Amino acid sequence: MSTTTEQTTPAPRTTQSLTPQVMNFTHAHIIVRHTTDTGKMLPRRITGLSAKQQRHISRTIKQARNLLIMQ
């Protein structure tokens, strides 16, 4: 019998993408994707979000605007 050492491979790292439900107003670099250059919110037909996701994004954009994070 020969002894062999089993090499374990590390688990692959998975990066979780931020869905609109997980994002908050501090993620300004991501919120910018859902606004125009002038700061207007993009409509659902352009962003491709569901109605629930669009409502969450609009609340998040408004919070960021109020706290002057997005300028």
The tens digit of pLDDT for each residue in 16-45 reads 667 888 888 888 888 888 999 998 999 999
pTM above 0.85, yes or no: no
**Does residue 13 register a pLDDT over 70?**
no
Phi and psi at residue 31, in whole multiples of 5°? -60, -30
Look at residue 6 in the predicted model and tell me its pLDDT.
67
Taking the domains of the chain in order of start, what are their residue ranges? 28-66
Residues 6 or more apart in contact with residue 47 via CB below 8 angstroms: 34, 54, 57
